[in-house]
Amino acid sequence: MSGKINKQNELGKLIERYTDQDGVHPTSIPSLFLIRESIITEPISRVNEPSFCIIVQGEKEVWLGEECFRYGPGNYIVASVDLPVTGQVIKASPDSPYLALKLEFTTSEVLEVLSDTDIQSGHRKNAKRAMFISEVEPSLLDAVIRLACLLDNPKHIPILSSLYKKEILYWVLQGKHGEALEQMALEGSNSIRIRNVIENIINNYEKSFRIEDLAEIANMSVASLHRHFKEVTALSPIQFQKQLRLQEARRLLLAESSDVADVAFRVGYESQSQFSREYSRMFGFSPRADINRLRENFV
């Protein structure tokens, strides 16, 4: 156990060295981000890309629908598909900031790892939740540290970063919940059918849809689509679309100072009053009050 703690401390010191202020910091390694927060943050709603995230100090909560994922040092969280989530750092201070490492990946990268292994999978397995938390095993932690240490030796990044990333995905796939990641990459699985529906909703979030059309995309019955979609995302297709619309509306209001009615229309609402009700239900404040509050906090 002490060896694992020492390795976590090593990774924490490296993250601190490359994050001189709070926020999410891109690195010279493609798809690798370092995160530091010295205070408890506001809940932030966003679409979480397929990614692996490990915390070495502090704690965070991530809400997917009504389901809460809480994790801290020694844990990692994986999202295997794009998901609308709300995240909040719940343990952090200037003396002991929240420190985390995030690595984004693609389905093709997961498939490449699977093609090089002897994992035998059945395509008809039930869809799995597309977000999970696991304990970091020493082998996985070693691979993460090797990847992060490349920041100190940038000349090796072009060759070694892709190899270490592949190793990280390999150890996740070998872990307790690896099947959930595996199923999102295997053609013909129920999970990948739901992923196709998710991509369709994300690309057309502002448009109305017929549930029968989504079922056709998934090549499922309407009942099967609802069941598998909720298993993967913890949301119904309508709830998923609603969260996408409201997150985008919040971004537009904050970035462009747009009129509330105009933003409601742009994200797909025909009724401003319905938009305001659903916005308040999701974020706890009316659109104008929420944006004013956020801007005051950013000043």
> For 219-248, how does the pLDDT look when each residue is reduced to its tens digit (9 = 90+)?
999 999 999 999 999 999 999 999 999 999
> For 155-198, how does the pLDDT look when each residue is reduced to its tens digit (9 = 90+)?
999 999 999 999 999 999 999 999 989 988 887 888 899 999 99
Q: Helices 211-218 and 190-203 meet at what angle, rounded to 10?
A: 140
How many Cα atoms are found within 13 Å in the side-chain-facing hemisphere of 97? 18
Record the pTM: 0.91
Q: List the alpha helices (DSSP H) in 176-271.
A: 178-183, 190-203, 211-218, 222-233, 237-256, 260-266
Q: What is the CATH T-level fold of the domain 2-183, as seen in this structure?
A: Jelly Rolls (2.60.120)
- Find the radius of gyration of the CA atoms of the chain: 20
Which amino acid is present at 246? L
Please check the confidence at residue 298 and state whether its pLDDT lies above 70. no
Domain boundaries, the chain: 2-183, 239-298
Instruction: For tokens 């019955």, name the residue.
Output: 221
Cα–Cα separations (whole angstroms), residue 185 to 77, 220, 233: 18, 18, 16
Q: What are phi and psi of 56, to 5 degrees?
A: -115, -10
Residue 199 has a CB neighbour count (10 Å cut-off) of 13
Does domain 239-298 sit in CATH 1.10.10.60?
yes
The distance from CA 6 to its chain's CA centroid, rounded to whole angstroms, is: 27
> For 111-155, how does the pLDDT look when each residue is reduced to its tens digit (9 = 90+)?
999 988 876 554 556 778 999 999 999 999 999 999 999 999 999
